[in-house]
Amino acid sequence: MVDFFDLYLSEDCPYGDETTELLGISGKGRLRIMSREHGVAACMDDLGDVYRRNGLEIVSSLSNGAEFNAHDVIFEAQGDLPALFRLWRVSQTFLSLVCAIASSTRFSVELAHKVNPDLIIATSRKTHPGFRKYELKAVKTGGGQHHRNSLSDSVLISPNHLNIVEDIGRLRSTRKIEIEPRTREEAFRYAQLADVLLLDHFGPEELGSLVPELRSLNPGLEVAAGGIDLKLVAEYAKYVDIIVTSELYYSKPLDITAKIKKL
């Protein structure tokens, strides 16, 4: 699998840095990455590894999960100036994305736990191609969990599956079976077969009456809600065990800046 950083650097600097070369920039320098707003640090170790692979020294770096405020230094490295210029924009963009995901996740988890301390905020597999490793790590850093890492590690029978295979009454699996019913009637039909029901696009009021009835049929049933606006997470947290979302992957990037100076 191609690493995100290798791909991004090959896109951003495929044939060398024309500007840095034209200006004759050389010698040693220091790069400092700072935030213009509050956030949660994520994937700092991954960024540090990239800098070390490029022969640069890490001066300071926040730990994953650490909170920062406007004007705080998030990451600082020093070494060869041309290498710092190659990594500058990639690093800034990377941190603006993953720290935004971690920040949004922490906010959503804290909001949900005020209502239901046991609720799990879990993300789907609708990640951006090539960026899944870091998006999932950022979610975990923010206090969320992964609902599905990939097609290979879980069973989720979706409406599209049900359109093709109607009779699923005899299914057996060593993994948990999760079913996404299309209707309220299907929810009752599959409640005793499933380990988890994913109730997508059901409103909180409807879940308030539906979930107790489903659990009366299967006391061990886990209920997940999907397709919701995370601004309403507290409303859903009252009734379900898990909230499944891909919204966190689309968090607005944090406003992060960088400065380079010569040593």
Predicted pLDDT of residue 68: 98
pLDDT band per the 50, 70, 90 thresholds, residue 169: confident
Same domain, 235 and 117: yes
118 and 234 fall within a common domain: yes
Residues 117 and 238 in one domain: yes
The rounded mean pLDDT for the chain is 93
CATH code of the domain covering residue 25: 3.90.1170.20
- 118 lies in the same domain as 196: yes
pLDDT in tens, 215-224: 999 999 999 9
List the one residue out of 93, 38, 101, 65 whose CA is nearest residue 248: 101
78 and 186 co-located in one domain: no
Phi and psi at residue 252, to the nearest 5°: -65, 125
Which structural domain, as residue segments, surrounds residue 162? 110-250
132 shares its domain with 154: yes
Helix or strand (DSSP H, E) at 33: strand 28-35
Residues 115 and 86 in one domain: no
pLDDT band at 1 (very low <50, low <70, confident <90, very high): low
Q: Judge whether residue 202 has pLDDT over 80.
A: yes
Distance CA 232, CA 228 (A): 7
The CATH code of the domain that includes 147 is 3.20.20.70
Residue with structure tokens 């919204």?
247
Residue 224 pairs in a beta bridge with 198, 242
Clarify whether residues 138 and 74 are in a common domain.
no
The C-alpha atoms of residue 110 and residue 107 are separated, in whole angstroms, by 5
Phi, psi of 61 (to 5 degrees): -155, 135
Per the structure, the count of domains in the chain is 2
Give yes or no: residues 149 and 195 share one domain: yes
Structure confidence by residue, pLDDT tens digits, 75-111? 999 999 999 999 999 999 999 999 999 999 999 999 9
pLDDT level of residue 142 (50, 70, 90 thresholds): very high
> CA quadruple 232, 234, 235, 237: dihedral positive or negative?
positive
- Selection from 58, 64, 77, 54 nearest residue 6 by Cα: 54
- Say if residue 35 is in the same domain as residue 65: yes
Q: What is the pTM of this model?
A: 0.93
Distances (CA, A) of 261 to 25, 54, 55, 88: 11, 18, 18, 12
CA distance 23 to 86: 14
Residues in the chain: 263
Please check whether residues 156 and 242 belong to one and the same domain.
yes
**pLDDT value at residue 2:** 59
Per-residue pLDDT, averaged over 138-166, amounts to: 90
User: Three-state DSSP class for 196?
Assistant: strand
pLDDT at 8: 87
pLDDT of residue 6: 84
140 and 81 within one domain? no
Beta strand 73-80 with 28-35 is antiparallel
